[in-house]
Amino acid sequence: MTMQNRLDEIRDGLLQKLKEATDKQHVEQLRTAILGRKGELTGILRTMGSLKPEERPAFGQKINQLRNELEQALDSAARTLEEKEKAARLKAETLDISIPGTRPELGAEHPLISTMNAIVDTFVSMGYSVAEGPEIELDHYNFELLNLPKDHPARDAQDTLYFSPNILLRTHTSPVQARTMLSQKPPIRIVCPGRTYRADEVDATHSPAFSQCEGLVIDEGVTMADLKGALASFATAMFGEDVKVRFRPSFFPFTEPSAEVDVTCSACKGKGCPKCKGTGWIEVLGAGMVNPKVLDMCGIDSKKYTGFAFGIGIERVAVLKYNIPDMRLLFENDARFLQQFGKGR
């Protein structure tokens, strides 16, 4: 076989293989096999030393022409296959904008939080400010300054969770009231929202962790009538204009006189039903005039100042406001239940 025939064979063989190439990587493999350092055309170029001197220029020219021709063929095939691969990839990645998208789930305010905010906003609109305090509290603030000395029998109703004999999880937000009275001179008008803890069994109406919003007003000439007016405004804001409020005598060591406060049942509108046990009323909070002993212990002159205090169970208000049958639903984080509230469903 002559040298020219060998060159023709290399060119024809490469062109045929380029037609059969399926991807750019295959083209580059052919480039290496023909034009690489150990390629077929490079190997033929190294045989020029065996030719006569007068034959070498013409042979070298043919080799260069063939190299240029093959490089152009390889480059053209590589571009063609690259464009095909790109087109196939774009087709595979094309988004069908006619397919409905997936709407993200939007969160909504938890009914407990919305209830707490509504209660706080109601009292803030009446001129109250918001006060907060620690959930891990000293016995001194949680009980003693509220006229509940050690071994007082009324402590049994608030048997709670202790870290030590003098440190506990607060049983109400009343310690915030005590701290405020110690640090601030009257007039005082505050609400204290927050989490509280007691050693209760979990059932439809009780939990060892629950939320309260307590209020305290101290000034000259404050009377029980002021307390009734404030709580009547609260009940109207929470339950509507038709709600009625009832005060029943009760006992709390830190208030005197004291009262349990009921509102008309939201389910039967006061007619009597299983929810209100046929009475037409549901208890929502405790309240009363601040005991003079509490004022004196906190450094406030009880002969000059009077005040009232109240404690609202936020879970109880939420249950009534939204007609929730079981308080435990507020803590279980069941999305099916929570989606009923707010605009995030």
Same-domain pairing of 74 and 202: no
Domain identity same for 75 and 196: no
Q: Looking at the structure, do residues 83 and 122 belong to the same domain, yes or no?
A: no
Same domain for 118 and 67: no
| Residue 312 confidence (pLDDT) | 95
Inside any domain, residue 345: no
The Cβ-side half-sphere exposure at 344, using a 13 Å CA radius, reads 15
Residue positions counted in the chain: 345
Residue type, 256: E
Based on the domain organization, do 156 and 252 belong to the same domain? yes
Identify whether the C-beta of residue 281 lies closer than 8 Å to the C-beta of residue 246: yes
> What one-character DSSP code corresponds to residue 143?
T
Cα 246 to chain centroid, rounded: 38
Instruction: Single out the residue in 41, 63, 93 at which a domain terminates.
Output: 93
> In the prediction, which pLDDT does 75 show?
86
Rg of the chain over Cα atoms, rounded to whole angstroms, equals: 43
Its pTM stands at 0.68
- In the chain, the number of structural domains is 2
Whether residue 133 lies inside any domain: the answer is yes
pLDDT at 49: 66
- CA nearest to 118, candidates 245, 238, 233: 238
Residues 164 and 279 both lie in one domain: yes
Residue 99 lies in a domain: no
Run means of pLDDT, 10 residues per run, the chain, 345 residues: 72 81 83 80 72 74 81 86 85 79 80 94 96 95 91 77 92 95 95 93 84 96 96 93 92 94 84 83 93 95 96 91 87 85 56
pLDDT at site 344: 41
**58 and 24 within one domain:** yes
Q: In this structure, is residue 221 part of a structural domain?
A: yes
Q: Which helix (H) or strand (E) segment is 79 a member of?
A: helix 56-93
Residue 27 is predicted with a pLDDT of 82
* pLDDT tens profile 278-317: 888 988 999 999 999 999 999 999 999 999 999 999 998 9
If asked whether residues 304 and 263 sit together in one domain, one would say yes
User: 175 lies in a domain?
Assistant: yes
Range of the domain at 53: 3-93
Task: Specify if 56 maps to a domain.
Answer: yes
